[in-house]
Amino acid sequence: MGSNCKIGKNCKIINSIIDKNVTIKDGCSIVNSLIMAGVEVQANAKILDHTMISEGVVVKEGVVIPAGSICSLFTYDTENKEFVETDQISPELFVKGKLAYIPRELQLKDTELLGACSPYNQEESDLDVSDEESDVDPLEEFSQELSDLFSNCL
């Protein structure tokens, strides 16, 4: 925890790094995350695992920031190849700032998730659990697959 931080009542901060000049209001929960200098987390907000909130962001009261998110005041300008201050705000989550990155699994539709059946592909998923008993030892099967793969590469 950095210097000059203000932590409200009934906050839960677990395994997180809190930089200097951070204000965390009453009832907040921050788990396994990085909160940079000058951030304000308003009352009853929840910051889920592996989230990074960069300098100056103000998280809105009572919101839940998804696990693995990066929240920032900046965005990357691909044309000029530099970070620039964004004028965009995600009003549902922030007073000041936006989600700069959302984990891919939160952006995918249910049919796009690994192992999901797709209307375009009716094949069974490799991840489907089968009730059938196999006579082949899984280690032998895996070794054979590796052998086949490497023999095709040569």
| 42-74 confidence digits (pLDDT tens) | 999 999 988 999 898 999 999 999 888 888 887
Gap between the Cα atoms of 47 and 39, Å rounded: 12
CA dihedral 84, 85, 87, 93 (to 10 degrees): 120
Gap between the Cα atoms of 71 and 116, Å rounded: 29
Assigned token pair, 32: 């396994």
94-97 long-range CB contacts below 8 Å, 24 or more apart? 94/57, 94/58, 94/59, 94/60, 95/40, 95/42, 95/58, 95/59, 95/60, 96/56, 96/57, 96/58, 97/53, 97/54, 97/56, 97/57, 97/58, 97/59, 97/71, 97/72, 97/73
Gap between the Cα atoms of 79 and 81, Å rounded: 6
pLDDT above 90 for 135: no
41-45 long-range CB contacts below 8 Å, 24 or more apart? 42/95, 43/8
Q: What is the mean pLDDT of residues 75-103?
A: 69
Parallel/antiparallel/unpaired status of strands 74-77 and 82-85: antiparallel
- Pick the more confident residue, 107 or 45: 45
The verdict on pTM exceeding 0.75 is no
pLDDT of the residue at 129: 53
Q: Are 89 and 71 in contact (CB under 8 A)?
A: no
Lowest mean pLDDT among 24-33, 70-79, 114-123, 142-151: 114-123
- Amino acid identity, residue 153? C
Domain 6-110, architecture per CATH: 3 Solenoid (2.160)
